[in-house]
Chains A and B, each alone.
Chain A
Amino acid sequence: MEEKVVEIRGLEKSFGDLDVLKGVDLDLFKGENLVVLGKSGSGKSVLIKIMVGLLKQDEGTMNVLGKEVSTLKTKELNDLRLRIGFSFQNSALYDSMTVRENMEFPLVRNVKNLTKKEITMKIESLLDSVGLPQAINQMPSELSGGQKKRIGVARTLILEPEIMLYDEPTAGLDPITCGEINKLIVQVREEYNTSSITITHDLTCAKDTGDRMAVLLDGQFDAVGTFDEVFPKADDPRIKSFYDYNFINS
Protein backbone atom coordinates (compact mmCIF):
# COMPACT_ATOMS: atom_id res chain seq x y z
CA MET A 1 0.00 0.00 0.00
CA GLU A 2 1.23 3.49 -0.87
CA GLU A 3 2.50 5.57 2.02
CA LYS A 4 0.41 8.62 2.89
CA VAL A 5 2.38 11.77 3.70
CA VAL A 6 -0.68 13.96 4.18
CA GLU A 7 -4.06 12.80 5.43
CA ILE A 8 -6.90 15.30 5.72
CA ARG A 9 -10.22 14.32 7.26
CA GLY A 10 -13.37 16.38 7.76
CA LEU A 11 -11.51 19.69 7.56
CA GLU A 12 -13.64 22.78 8.13
CA LYS A 13 -12.61 26.42 8.10
CA SER A 14 -14.69 29.60 8.20
CA PHE A 15 -13.86 33.28 8.11
CA GLY A 16 -16.67 35.13 9.86
CA ASP A 17 -19.87 34.15 8.07
CA LEU A 18 -18.05 32.61 5.15
CA ASP A 19 -17.63 28.83 5.25
CA VAL A 20 -14.60 28.18 3.06
CA LEU A 21 -13.86 24.51 3.71
CA LYS A 22 -16.81 22.28 4.56
CA GLY A 23 -15.53 18.89 5.60
CA VAL A 24 -12.65 18.27 3.23
CA ASP A 25 -11.08 14.78 2.92
CA LEU A 26 -7.86 14.31 0.97
CA ASP A 27 -4.69 12.20 0.89
CA LEU A 28 -1.27 12.91 -0.56
CA PHE A 29 0.84 9.84 -1.27
CA LYS A 30 4.62 9.69 -1.14
CA GLY A 31 6.26 10.80 -4.37
CA GLU A 32 3.11 12.03 -6.10
CA ASN A 33 2.21 15.49 -7.27
CA LEU A 34 -1.36 16.31 -6.40
CA VAL A 35 -2.91 19.31 -8.08
CA VAL A 36 -5.69 21.13 -6.25
CA LEU A 37 -7.87 23.14 -8.59
CA GLY A 38 -10.68 25.52 -7.87
CA LYS A 39 -12.02 28.99 -8.44
CA SER A 40 -10.40 32.02 -6.80
CA GLY A 41 -11.54 32.23 -3.19
CA SER A 42 -12.52 28.56 -3.06
CA GLY A 43 -10.14 27.87 -0.16
CA LYS A 44 -7.25 26.19 -2.00
CA SER A 45 -4.58 28.36 -0.40
CA VAL A 46 -6.32 28.10 2.99
CA LEU A 47 -5.88 24.34 2.76
CA ILE A 48 -2.10 24.47 2.38
CA LYS A 49 -1.76 27.26 4.91
CA ILE A 50 -3.45 24.99 7.48
CA MET A 51 -0.94 22.33 6.44
CA VAL A 52 2.03 24.46 7.59
CA GLY A 53 0.27 25.90 10.63
CA LEU A 54 -0.20 29.43 9.26
CA LEU A 55 -3.94 29.00 9.81
CA LYS A 56 -5.83 26.73 12.17
CA GLN A 57 -8.84 24.67 11.18
CA ASP A 58 -12.18 24.96 12.99
CA GLU A 59 -12.90 21.24 12.75
CA GLY A 60 -11.33 18.05 11.40
CA THR A 61 -7.79 16.70 11.26
CA MET A 62 -4.73 17.62 9.21
CA ASN A 63 -2.11 14.92 9.54
CA VAL A 64 1.21 15.78 7.87
CA LEU A 65 4.14 13.31 7.91
CA GLY A 66 2.46 11.49 10.79
CA LYS A 67 1.78 14.57 12.91
CA GLU A 68 -1.49 16.35 13.64
CA VAL A 69 -0.57 19.95 12.82
CA SER A 70 -3.12 21.69 15.05
CA THR A 71 -1.84 20.01 18.22
CA LEU A 72 1.87 20.73 17.71
CA LYS A 73 3.79 23.07 20.00
CA THR A 74 6.01 25.78 18.47
CA LYS A 75 9.19 23.69 18.48
CA GLU A 76 7.45 20.63 17.02
CA LEU A 77 5.70 22.77 14.42
CA ASN A 78 9.03 24.29 13.38
CA ASP A 79 10.56 20.81 13.10
CA LEU A 80 7.69 19.82 10.83
CA ARG A 81 8.00 23.03 8.79
CA LEU A 82 11.63 22.15 8.05
CA ARG A 83 10.29 19.13 6.17
CA ILE A 84 7.82 21.17 4.11
CA GLY A 85 8.70 23.68 1.42
CA PHE A 86 6.19 26.43 0.67
CA SER A 87 6.41 28.37 -2.58
CA PHE A 88 4.22 31.47 -2.29
CA GLN A 89 1.96 32.90 -4.98
CA ASN A 90 3.94 36.16 -5.13
CA SER A 91 7.25 34.43 -4.39
CA ALA A 92 7.49 36.34 -1.07
CA LEU A 93 11.19 37.04 -1.52
CA TYR A 94 12.57 39.30 1.21
CA ASP A 95 12.86 42.49 -0.80
CA SER A 96 15.51 44.13 1.38
CA MET A 97 17.90 41.21 0.83
CA THR A 98 19.85 39.96 -2.18
CA VAL A 99 19.11 36.54 -3.67
CA ARG A 100 22.08 35.10 -1.74
CA GLU A 101 20.80 36.57 1.55
CA ASN A 102 17.28 35.31 0.78
CA MET A 103 18.60 31.79 0.41
CA GLU A 104 20.98 32.04 3.37
CA PHE A 105 18.20 33.24 5.66
CA PRO A 106 16.49 29.90 6.38
CA LEU A 107 19.71 27.91 6.00
CA VAL A 108 21.89 29.64 8.60
CA ARG A 109 19.05 29.78 11.09
CA ASN A 110 18.18 26.10 10.85
CA VAL A 111 21.39 24.27 9.95
CA LYS A 112 24.24 24.86 12.39
CA ASN A 113 27.99 24.58 11.86
CA LEU A 114 28.01 25.27 8.14
CA THR A 115 31.09 27.04 6.83
CA LYS A 116 30.76 30.04 4.51
CA LYS A 117 32.13 27.92 1.68
CA GLU A 118 29.54 25.20 2.24
CA ILE A 119 26.73 27.77 2.32
CA THR A 120 27.92 29.37 -0.92
CA MET A 121 28.28 25.99 -2.62
CA LYS A 122 24.78 24.99 -1.62
CA ILE A 123 23.29 28.26 -2.82
CA GLU A 124 25.17 28.12 -6.12
CA SER A 125 24.16 24.53 -6.80
CA LEU A 126 20.48 25.33 -6.16
CA LEU A 127 20.61 28.44 -8.33
CA ASP A 128 22.18 26.30 -11.04
CA SER A 129 19.37 23.78 -10.81
CA VAL A 130 16.71 26.49 -11.18
CA GLY A 131 18.71 27.99 -14.05
CA LEU A 132 19.62 31.31 -12.43
CA PRO A 133 23.25 31.14 -11.32
CA GLN A 134 23.86 34.75 -12.39
CA ALA A 135 21.16 36.11 -10.05
CA ILE A 136 23.07 35.44 -6.83
CA ASN A 137 23.87 39.07 -6.02
CA GLN A 138 20.73 40.64 -7.48
CA MET A 139 17.93 42.22 -5.49
CA PRO A 140 14.41 40.78 -5.93
CA SER A 141 13.30 44.06 -7.52
CA GLU A 142 15.74 43.40 -10.37
CA LEU A 143 14.16 40.04 -11.22
CA SER A 144 11.22 39.21 -13.50
CA GLY A 145 8.11 37.43 -12.19
CA GLY A 146 9.28 34.05 -13.49
CA GLN A 147 12.77 34.52 -12.04
CA LYS A 148 11.28 35.44 -8.66
CA LYS A 149 9.23 32.22 -8.69
CA ARG A 150 12.34 30.18 -9.47
CA ILE A 151 14.31 31.83 -6.68
CA GLY A 152 11.34 31.30 -4.33
CA VAL A 153 11.41 27.58 -5.16
CA ALA A 154 15.20 27.45 -4.75
CA ARG A 155 14.90 29.12 -1.34
CA THR A 156 12.43 26.49 -0.14
CA LEU A 157 14.57 23.67 -1.53
CA ILE A 158 17.61 24.78 0.46
CA LEU A 159 16.23 23.01 3.53
CA GLU A 160 15.68 19.81 1.50
CA PRO A 161 11.96 19.38 2.21
CA GLU A 162 10.05 16.13 1.79
CA ILE A 163 6.85 17.88 0.73
CA MET A 164 6.62 20.88 -1.62
CA LEU A 165 3.58 23.13 -1.61
CA TYR A 166 3.18 25.41 -4.62
CA ASP A 167 0.63 28.20 -4.28
CA GLU A 168 -0.45 29.34 -7.77
CA PRO A 169 3.00 28.79 -9.31
CA THR A 170 2.03 30.11 -12.74
CA ALA A 171 -0.24 33.00 -11.72
CA GLY A 172 0.55 36.22 -13.57
CA LEU A 173 3.16 34.67 -15.87
CA ASP A 174 3.29 34.51 -19.67
CA PRO A 175 2.70 31.08 -21.31
CA ILE A 176 6.38 30.44 -22.04
CA THR A 177 7.44 31.18 -18.46
CA CYS A 178 4.48 29.08 -17.22
CA GLY A 179 5.88 26.17 -19.24
CA GLU A 180 9.30 26.68 -17.66
CA ILE A 181 7.83 26.74 -14.16
CA ASN A 182 5.84 23.56 -14.89
CA LYS A 183 9.06 21.86 -16.01
CA LEU A 184 10.75 23.08 -12.83
CA ILE A 185 8.02 21.54 -10.66
CA VAL A 186 8.48 18.18 -12.38
CA GLN A 187 12.27 18.51 -12.19
CA VAL A 188 12.16 19.30 -8.45
CA ARG A 189 10.13 16.17 -7.77
CA GLU A 190 12.53 14.00 -9.75
CA GLU A 191 15.75 15.51 -8.41
CA TYR A 192 14.76 15.95 -4.78
CA ASN A 193 12.25 13.08 -4.39
CA THR A 194 9.56 15.31 -3.01
CA SER A 195 5.83 14.78 -2.78
CA SER A 196 3.98 17.91 -3.74
CA ILE A 197 0.69 19.75 -3.77
CA THR A 198 0.21 22.37 -6.44
CA ILE A 199 -2.57 24.89 -6.01
CA THR A 200 -3.68 26.35 -9.30
CA HIS A 201 -6.54 27.21 -11.61
CA ASP A 202 -4.33 26.77 -14.64
CA LEU A 203 -5.25 23.46 -16.29
CA THR A 204 -2.11 23.40 -18.44
CA CYS A 205 -0.03 23.52 -15.27
CA ALA A 206 -2.26 20.82 -13.76
CA LYS A 207 -1.94 18.56 -16.82
CA ASP A 208 1.84 19.02 -17.13
CA THR A 209 2.74 18.54 -13.48
CA GLY A 210 0.01 16.52 -11.76
CA ASP A 211 -0.41 12.79 -11.17
CA ARG A 212 -3.84 13.35 -9.62
CA MET A 213 -6.26 16.28 -9.69
CA ALA A 214 -8.62 17.32 -6.93
CA VAL A 215 -11.24 19.92 -7.74
CA LEU A 216 -12.39 22.06 -4.82
CA LEU A 217 -15.92 23.34 -5.37
CA ASP A 218 -18.17 24.89 -2.73
CA GLY A 219 -15.84 23.92 0.10
CA GLN A 220 -15.53 20.25 -0.79
CA PHE A 221 -13.58 18.08 -3.21
CA ASP A 222 -15.98 17.26 -6.00
CA ALA A 223 -13.76 15.19 -8.24
CA VAL A 224 -10.49 13.44 -7.50
CA GLY A 225 -8.55 11.41 -10.07
CA THR A 226 -6.18 11.64 -13.00
CA PHE A 227 -6.56 14.52 -15.44
CA ASP A 228 -8.34 12.32 -17.97
CA GLU A 229 -10.69 10.92 -15.33
CA VAL A 230 -11.66 14.34 -14.01
CA PHE A 231 -11.78 16.74 -16.93
CA PRO A 232 -12.45 15.79 -20.56
CA LYS A 233 -15.66 13.89 -19.84
CA ALA A 234 -16.84 15.82 -16.80
CA ASP A 235 -20.61 15.85 -16.26
CA ASP A 236 -20.58 18.56 -13.60
CA PRO A 237 -21.12 21.84 -15.48
CA ARG A 238 -18.82 23.69 -13.04
CA ILE A 239 -15.90 21.36 -13.82
CA LYS A 240 -16.82 21.33 -17.51
CA SER A 241 -16.78 25.11 -17.73
CA PHE A 242 -13.40 25.12 -16.01
CA TYR A 243 -12.05 22.73 -18.67
CA ASP A 244 -13.74 24.54 -21.58
CA TYR A 245 -12.37 27.90 -20.52
CA ASN A 246 -8.79 26.70 -20.04
CA PHE A 247 -8.60 24.70 -23.26
CA ILE A 248 -10.85 27.04 -25.28
CA ASN A 249 -13.03 24.12 -26.41
CA SER A 250 -16.44 25.65 -26.13
Chain B
Amino acid sequence: MTEKAADRKPLLSKKIDKFFTGLADAWNFVLRFFKVAFVPPYEFKEVVHQCYRIGVESLPLISLTGFIVGIVFTNQSRPSLSEFGATSWLPSLISIAVVRAMGPLVTALIAAGKVGSSIGAEIGSMKVTEQIDAMEVSATNPFNFLVVTRVIATTLMIPLLVMYTDFVALMGSFLSVSANEKVSMLTFFVQVFESISFLDIISSVLKSILFGFTIGIVGCYKGYNSTKGTEGVGRAANAAVVMAMFLIFIEELLVLQIVNAIRAF
Protein backbone atom coordinates (compact mmCIF):
# COMPACT_ATOMS: atom_id res chain seq x y z
CA MET B 1 0.00 0.00 0.00
CA THR B 2 1.40 3.38 -0.91
CA GLU B 3 1.89 5.90 1.85
CA LYS B 4 -0.79 8.60 1.80
CA ALA B 5 0.31 12.23 1.73
CA ALA B 6 -1.59 12.90 4.94
CA ASP B 7 0.24 10.11 6.78
CA ARG B 8 3.62 11.56 5.93
CA LYS B 9 5.16 13.61 8.73
CA PRO B 10 6.85 16.86 7.69
CA LEU B 11 10.64 16.64 7.81
CA LEU B 12 11.04 20.01 9.55
CA SER B 13 8.19 22.31 10.47
CA LYS B 14 5.23 22.46 8.08
CA LYS B 15 6.06 26.00 6.94
CA ILE B 16 9.71 25.26 6.20
CA ASP B 17 8.69 22.06 4.43
CA LYS B 18 6.20 23.99 2.34
CA PHE B 19 8.79 26.65 1.47
CA PHE B 20 11.33 24.12 0.22
CA THR B 21 8.69 22.09 -1.61
CA GLY B 22 7.56 25.29 -3.33
CA LEU B 23 11.13 26.14 -4.24
CA ALA B 24 11.68 22.66 -5.70
CA ASP B 25 8.40 22.97 -7.64
CA ALA B 26 9.44 26.32 -9.09
CA TRP B 27 12.87 24.98 -10.02
CA ASN B 28 11.29 21.96 -11.74
CA PHE B 29 8.99 24.33 -13.62
CA VAL B 30 11.97 26.31 -14.92
CA LEU B 31 13.80 23.09 -15.90
CA ARG B 32 10.67 21.85 -17.64
CA PHE B 33 10.61 25.07 -19.67
CA PHE B 34 14.14 24.45 -20.97
CA LYS B 35 13.34 20.80 -21.68
CA VAL B 36 10.21 21.64 -23.69
CA ALA B 37 11.28 24.90 -25.36
CA PHE B 38 13.87 23.39 -27.68
CA VAL B 39 11.89 20.32 -28.71
CA PRO B 40 9.35 20.36 -31.58
CA PRO B 41 6.49 21.02 -32.14
CA TYR B 42 7.10 24.78 -32.03
CA GLU B 43 4.15 27.12 -31.60
CA PHE B 44 5.48 29.98 -33.79
CA LYS B 45 2.05 31.47 -34.46
CA GLU B 46 1.26 31.70 -30.76
CA VAL B 47 4.71 33.20 -30.00
CA VAL B 48 4.04 35.96 -32.56
CA HIS B 49 0.56 36.52 -31.09
CA GLN B 50 1.99 36.79 -27.57
CA CYS B 51 4.81 39.10 -28.77
CA TYR B 52 2.15 41.39 -30.19
CA ARG B 53 0.13 41.33 -26.96
CA ILE B 54 3.14 41.84 -24.72
CA GLY B 55 5.11 44.22 -26.91
CA VAL B 56 2.76 46.30 -29.01
CA GLU B 57 -0.07 46.50 -26.50
CA SER B 58 2.32 47.74 -23.80
CA LEU B 59 3.62 50.59 -25.96
CA PRO B 60 1.19 53.35 -24.88
CA LEU B 61 1.84 52.78 -21.16
CA ILE B 62 5.59 52.39 -21.65
CA SER B 63 5.76 55.52 -23.82
CA LEU B 64 3.96 57.66 -21.28
CA THR B 65 5.94 56.35 -18.34
CA GLY B 66 9.31 56.57 -20.08
CA PHE B 67 8.64 60.11 -21.28
CA ILE B 68 7.57 61.29 -17.81
CA VAL B 69 10.56 59.58 -16.18
CA GLY B 70 12.91 61.42 -18.57
CA ILE B 71 11.35 64.82 -17.84
CA VAL B 72 11.05 64.32 -14.08
CA PHE B 73 14.57 62.96 -13.65
CA THR B 74 16.03 65.84 -15.67
CA ASN B 75 14.06 68.44 -13.72
CA GLN B 76 15.01 66.90 -10.39
CA SER B 77 18.71 66.70 -11.30
CA ARG B 78 19.04 70.25 -12.67
CA PRO B 79 19.06 72.15 -9.33
CA SER B 80 21.83 69.97 -7.86
CA LEU B 81 23.98 70.26 -10.98
CA SER B 82 23.38 74.00 -11.36
CA GLU B 83 24.79 74.56 -7.84
CA PHE B 84 28.14 73.47 -9.30
CA GLY B 85 27.51 75.17 -12.66
CA ALA B 86 27.40 71.74 -14.25
CA THR B 87 24.04 71.74 -16.01
CA SER B 88 25.85 70.95 -19.26
CA TRP B 89 26.45 67.48 -17.80
CA LEU B 90 22.71 66.77 -17.70
CA PRO B 91 22.66 64.71 -20.94
CA SER B 92 25.54 62.55 -19.67
CA LEU B 93 23.97 62.06 -16.26
CA ILE B 94 20.57 61.23 -17.68
CA SER B 95 21.90 58.85 -20.31
CA ILE B 96 23.95 56.89 -17.77
CA ALA B 97 21.03 56.71 -15.34
CA VAL B 98 18.50 55.79 -18.00
CA VAL B 99 20.55 53.21 -19.92
CA ARG B 100 22.21 51.57 -16.93
CA ALA B 101 19.33 51.39 -14.47
CA MET B 102 16.14 53.35 -14.94
CA GLY B 103 15.15 52.17 -18.41
CA PRO B 104 15.40 48.44 -17.68
CA LEU B 105 14.01 48.78 -14.16
CA VAL B 106 11.04 51.00 -14.98
CA THR B 107 10.12 48.89 -18.03
CA ALA B 108 10.46 45.62 -16.11
CA LEU B 109 8.38 46.86 -13.17
CA ILE B 110 5.63 48.14 -15.45
CA ALA B 111 5.69 44.92 -17.47
CA ALA B 112 5.57 42.88 -14.26
CA GLY B 113 2.41 44.75 -13.31
CA LYS B 114 0.76 44.73 -16.72
CA VAL B 115 2.02 41.59 -18.44
CA GLY B 116 2.87 39.40 -15.42
CA SER B 117 -0.55 39.83 -13.82
CA SER B 118 -2.32 39.24 -17.12
CA ILE B 119 -0.37 36.02 -17.75
CA GLY B 120 -0.99 34.83 -14.18
CA ALA B 121 -4.72 35.58 -14.37
CA GLU B 122 -5.20 34.15 -17.85
CA ILE B 123 -3.42 30.85 -17.20
CA GLY B 124 -4.94 30.67 -13.70
CA SER B 125 -8.45 31.04 -15.07
CA MET B 126 -7.72 28.42 -17.74
CA LYS B 127 -6.54 26.11 -15.00
CA VAL B 128 -9.63 26.48 -12.79
CA THR B 129 -12.03 26.17 -15.72
CA GLU B 130 -10.35 22.93 -16.82
CA GLN B 131 -9.17 24.39 -20.15
CA ILE B 132 -5.63 23.18 -19.45
CA ASP B 133 -6.98 19.69 -18.67
CA ALA B 134 -8.94 19.85 -21.93
CA MET B 135 -5.73 20.54 -23.84
CA GLU B 136 -4.00 17.70 -22.06
CA VAL B 137 -6.70 15.10 -22.76
CA SER B 138 -6.71 16.04 -26.43
CA ALA B 139 -3.09 14.83 -26.56
CA THR B 140 -1.62 18.30 -26.95
CA ASN B 141 0.99 19.84 -24.70
CA PRO B 142 -0.52 22.78 -22.77
CA PHE B 143 2.88 23.62 -21.28
CA ASN B 144 4.29 24.15 -24.75
CA PHE B 145 1.33 26.19 -25.96
CA LEU B 146 0.76 28.31 -22.85
CA VAL B 147 4.05 28.55 -20.96
CA VAL B 148 6.83 28.26 -23.51
CA THR B 149 5.21 30.74 -25.91
CA ARG B 150 4.61 33.37 -23.24
CA VAL B 151 8.05 33.06 -21.66
CA ILE B 152 9.73 33.32 -25.09
CA ALA B 153 7.57 36.34 -25.89
CA THR B 154 8.42 38.19 -22.66
CA THR B 155 12.10 37.29 -23.03
CA LEU B 156 12.15 38.71 -26.56
CA MET B 157 9.91 41.72 -26.06
CA ILE B 158 11.12 43.18 -22.74
CA PRO B 159 14.62 44.02 -24.13
CA LEU B 160 12.96 45.73 -27.13
CA LEU B 161 10.64 47.63 -24.81
CA VAL B 162 13.62 48.64 -22.67
CA MET B 163 15.42 50.10 -25.70
CA TYR B 164 12.24 51.93 -26.64
CA THR B 165 11.83 53.23 -23.07
CA ASP B 166 15.45 54.43 -23.08
CA PHE B 167 14.79 56.34 -26.29
CA VAL B 168 11.51 57.86 -25.09
CA ALA B 169 13.01 58.82 -21.71
CA LEU B 170 15.95 60.51 -23.46
CA MET B 171 13.50 62.37 -25.69
CA GLY B 172 11.64 63.54 -22.58
CA SER B 173 14.92 64.59 -21.07
CA PHE B 174 15.89 66.47 -24.24
CA LEU B 175 12.56 68.30 -24.15
CA SER B 176 13.23 69.39 -20.59
CA VAL B 177 16.86 70.34 -21.31
CA SER B 178 16.01 72.28 -24.46
CA ALA B 179 13.29 74.18 -22.61
CA ASN B 180 15.88 75.53 -20.19
CA GLU B 181 19.18 75.47 -22.07
CA LYS B 182 20.10 76.21 -25.65
CA VAL B 183 20.97 72.71 -26.84
CA SER B 184 20.30 71.15 -30.24
CA MET B 185 19.06 67.57 -30.49
CA LEU B 186 22.30 66.58 -32.22
CA THR B 187 24.48 68.01 -29.43
CA PHE B 188 22.27 66.39 -26.81
CA PHE B 189 22.46 62.94 -28.36
CA VAL B 190 26.18 63.20 -29.14
CA GLN B 191 26.74 63.85 -25.45
CA VAL B 192 24.38 60.99 -24.56
CA PHE B 193 26.25 58.45 -26.67
CA GLU B 194 29.68 59.69 -25.57
CA SER B 195 28.77 58.94 -21.97
CA ILE B 196 27.61 55.38 -22.36
CA SER B 197 29.94 52.48 -23.05
CA PHE B 198 29.48 49.21 -24.89
CA LEU B 199 29.39 47.45 -21.52
CA ASP B 200 26.47 49.67 -20.45
CA ILE B 201 24.44 48.66 -23.47
CA ILE B 202 25.33 44.97 -23.28
CA SER B 203 24.59 44.78 -19.56
CA SER B 204 21.31 46.63 -20.09
CA VAL B 205 20.23 44.19 -22.82
CA LEU B 206 21.29 41.10 -20.87
CA LYS B 207 19.57 42.40 -17.77
CA SER B 208 16.39 43.03 -19.77
CA ILE B 209 16.46 39.49 -21.14
CA LEU B 210 16.73 38.21 -17.58
CA PHE B 211 13.86 40.48 -16.44
CA GLY B 212 11.70 39.36 -19.36
CA PHE B 213 12.33 35.70 -18.62
CA THR B 214 11.54 36.29 -14.94
CA ILE B 215 8.25 38.09 -15.66
CA GLY B 216 7.12 35.36 -18.05
CA ILE B 217 8.13 32.34 -16.01
CA VAL B 218 6.79 33.72 -12.71
CA GLY B 219 3.43 34.68 -14.30
CA CYS B 220 3.11 31.26 -15.91
CA TYR B 221 4.19 29.39 -12.78
CA LYS B 222 1.74 31.19 -10.55
CA GLY B 223 -1.10 30.79 -13.06
CA TYR B 224 -0.32 27.14 -13.80
CA ASN B 225 -0.37 26.29 -10.10
CA SER B 226 -3.41 28.31 -9.11
CA THR B 227 -6.16 26.55 -7.16
CA LYS B 228 -9.33 27.40 -5.26
CA GLY B 229 -11.46 28.82 -8.07
CA THR B 230 -11.79 32.50 -8.85
CA GLU B 231 -10.14 33.51 -5.58
CA GLY B 232 -7.12 31.47 -6.65
CA VAL B 233 -7.00 33.30 -9.98
CA GLY B 234 -6.85 36.66 -8.18
CA ARG B 235 -4.14 35.34 -5.90
CA ALA B 236 -2.16 33.98 -8.85
CA ALA B 237 -2.27 37.35 -10.61
CA ASN B 238 -1.26 39.17 -7.45
CA ALA B 239 1.51 36.71 -6.58
CA ALA B 240 2.84 36.90 -10.14
CA VAL B 241 3.34 40.66 -9.81
CA VAL B 242 4.77 40.65 -6.29
CA MET B 243 7.15 37.76 -6.91
CA ALA B 244 8.32 39.11 -10.28
CA MET B 245 9.01 42.58 -8.83
CA PHE B 246 10.91 41.10 -5.91
CA LEU B 247 13.05 38.96 -8.21
CA ILE B 248 13.67 41.90 -10.58
CA PHE B 249 15.17 43.95 -7.73
CA ILE B 250 17.34 41.03 -6.62
CA GLU B 251 18.52 40.47 -10.19
CA GLU B 252 19.23 44.19 -10.63
CA LEU B 253 21.40 44.10 -7.55
CA LEU B 254 23.27 41.00 -8.68
CA VAL B 255 23.84 42.27 -12.22
CA LEU B 256 25.07 45.60 -10.82
CA GLN B 257 27.67 43.78 -8.72
CA ILE B 258 28.82 41.71 -11.69
CA VAL B 259 29.02 44.70 -14.03
CA ASN B 260 30.92 46.76 -11.45
CA ALA B 261 33.34 43.89 -11.00
CA ILE B 262 33.86 43.70 -14.77
CA ARG B 263 34.30 47.50 -14.93
CA ALA B 264 36.90 47.39 -12.15
CA PHE B 265 38.71 44.52 -13.88
Binding site for B on A (CB under 8 A): 14, 16-17, 49, 52, 54, 58-59, 78-79, 81-82, 84, 86, 88-90, 92-96, 105-106, 109-110, 155-156, 159
Minimum CB–CB distance for A80 against chain B, Å: 9
Which chain A residues lie closer than 8 Å to B134 at the CB level?
A: 86, 88, 92-94
Q: Which residue of the partner chain, among B1, B122, B136, B140, contacts A59 with CB atoms under 8 Å?
A: B1
Q: Are A54 and B1 neighbours in the complex by a CB distance under 8 Å?
A: no
CA distance A90 to B138 in the complex (A): 16
CA distance A14 to B7 in the complex (A): 12
115-167 of chain B: CB within 8 A of chain A: 122, 126, 129-131, 133-140
With A95-B126, A105-B135, A159-B139 known, 7 other A-B pairs at CB within 8 A are: A17-B4, A49-B133, A54-B137, A92-B134, A94-B135, A106-B139, A110-B139
Closest residue of chain B to A88 (Cβ to Cβ) is B130
Which chain B residues lie closer than 8 Å to A94 at the CB level?
A: 126, 131, 134-135
Which chain A residues lie closer than 8 Å to B131 at the CB level?
A: 92-95
Minimum CB–CB distance for A147 against chain B, Å: 16
Which chain B residues lie closer than 8 Å to A17 at the CB level?
A: 4, 6
Given A16-B6, A109-B41, CB of A90 within 8 Å of CB of B129: yes
Q: Is B187 an interface residue (CB 8 A)?
A: no
Which chain B residues lie closer than 8 Å to A155 at the CB level?
A: 138
Q: Are B140 and A106 neighbours in the complex by a CB distance under 8 Å?
A: yes
Q: Are B140 and A109 neighbours in the complex by a CB distance under 8 Å?
A: yes
Closest residue of chain B to A94 (Cβ to Cβ) is B131
Closest residue of chain B to A54 (Cβ to Cβ) is B133
Q: Which 8 A-B pairs have the closest CB atoms?
A: A106-B138, A92-B134, A78-B139, A92-B130, A81-B139, A86-B137, A16-B6, A109-B140
Q: Are A110 and B140 neighbours in the complex by a CB distance under 8 Å?
A: yes
Q: Is B5 an interface residue (CB 8 A)?
A: yes
Which chain B residues lie closer than 8 Å to A78 at the CB level?
A: 139
Closest residue of chain B to A89 (Cβ to Cβ) is B130
Interface size on B, residues (CB 8 A): 19
Between-chain CB contacts (< 8 Å), 13 pairs: A14-B4, A49-B133, A86-B137, A88-B134, A90-B130, A92-B134, A93-B131, A94-B131, A94-B135, A105-B135, A106-B140, A109-B140, A159-B139
Q: Are B133 and A16 neighbours in the complex by a CB distance under 8 Å?
A: no
Q: Which residue of the partner chain, among B6, B122, B133, B139, contacts A82 with CB atoms under 8 Å?
A: B139
**Max chain A C-beta neighbours (<10 A), residue from B126, B134, B136:** B134
Closest residue of chain B to A110 (Cβ to Cβ) is B139
CA distance A81 to B141 in the complex (A): 12
**Max chain A C-beta neighbours (<10 A), residue from B2, B131, B135:** B131
Q: Which residue of the partner chain, among B126, B130, B133, B140, contacts A105 with CB atoms under 8 Å?
A: B140
**Max chain A C-beta neighbours (<10 A), residue from B131, B138, B140:** B138
Q: Which residue of the partner chain, among A54, A82, A93, contacts B136 with CB atoms under 8 Å?
A: A54
Minimum CB–CB distance for B264 against chain A, Å: 49
Q: Are B138 and A105 neighbours in the complex by a CB distance under 8 Å?
A: yes
CA distance A94 to B6 in the complex (A): 35
Which chain A residues lie closer than 8 Å to B136 at the CB level?
A: 54, 81
Q: Which residue of the partner chain, among A14, A79, A92, contacts B133 with CB atoms under 8 Å?
A: A92
202-229 of chain B: CB within 8 A of chain A: none
Minimum CB–CB distance for B9 against chain A, Å: 14
Minimum CB–CB distance for A43 against chain B, Å: 15
Which chain B residues lie closer than 8 Å to A14 at the CB level?
A: 4, 6
Minimum CB–CB distance for A88 against chain B, Å: 5
Which chain A residues lie closer than 8 Å to B122 at the CB level?
A: 96
CA distance A52 to B129 in the complex (A): 17
Minimum CB–CB distance for A71 against chain B, Å: 15
Which chain A residues lie closer than 8 Å to B137 at the CB level?
A: 52, 54, 81, 84, 86
Q: Are B140 and A16 neighbours in the complex by a CB distance under 8 Å?
A: no
Which chain B residues lie closer than 8 Å to A110 at the CB level?
A: 138-140
Q: Are A59 and B138 neighbours in the complex by a CB distance under 8 Å?
A: no
CA distance A52 to B133 in the complex (A): 10
CA distance A155 to B137 in the complex (A): 12
CA distance A63 to B133 in the complex (A): 21
CA distance A88 to B131 in the complex (A): 9
Which chain A residues lie closer than 8 Å to B6 at the CB level?
A: 14, 16-17
Chain B 9-26 interface mask (CB, 8 Å, partner A; 1/0): 000000000000000000
